[in-house]
Amino acid sequence: MNEVPWLAEAPPGPHPRTQWDMLRLSLLPLLAGLALGGGAAALPSNVTLKNVRHEYQGPDNCAPVTALTVLGYHGTRVTQAAAAAAMKDYPGDPQVSSLELAAYLGRFGLRSVIRYAGDPDVLRELVSRGFPVVVQQRLRAGSNVAHFRTVYGYSGGSFLPPPTGGTPRCTANRT
């Protein structure tokens, strides 16, 4: 069974203060025999995973597009419409939870583990090992509106999610 790094919704509590805090890692892969950060060699300064398919999302379709991005990387093609129909409770449903997205990916043999509050170093290590990582961010501090992205590369302090809102990069700032 293939593994998928994953991001989950944040636990209740105070709202984040930094942009990185807004990116809450959750899908960390269960890598048999792999210890992240265990004194391994230095990571490459930049990595971009190949075979990552980008598709502009329809209204409230970030989870379906995230699913087709991850599945496509692993060699399975699905359409945004098919993924939305399978994950959403009804047509026009504006929201898919982390658990629903993980369950959908599981139908294709991908196993997800949802974790909270990942950091840039873990994200870089996962991507450098060939894992696209699903992250979830709040669109605004204090908002309950969340957005899924698939991180598939990095260069320095910037990560490469699929372009949204005309901005193809998000920056990890630690404060």
Which DSSP symbol is given to 107? Answer: T
Residue 146 pLDDT class (50, 70, 90 cuts): confident
The pLDDT value recorded for residue 24 is: 36
The pLDDT value recorded for residue 151 is: 92
Q: Measure the CA–CA gap between 28 and 46, rounded to whole angstroms.
A: 20
Q: Residue 157's Cα: distance from chain center in Å? A: 17
Within 10 angstroms of residue 122's Cβ, the number of other Cβ atoms is 17
The pLDDT value recorded for residue 47 is: 94
Q: Number of folded domains in the chain?
A: 1
Domain span at residue 114 reads: 2-171
Which DSSP symbol is given to 113? Answer: -
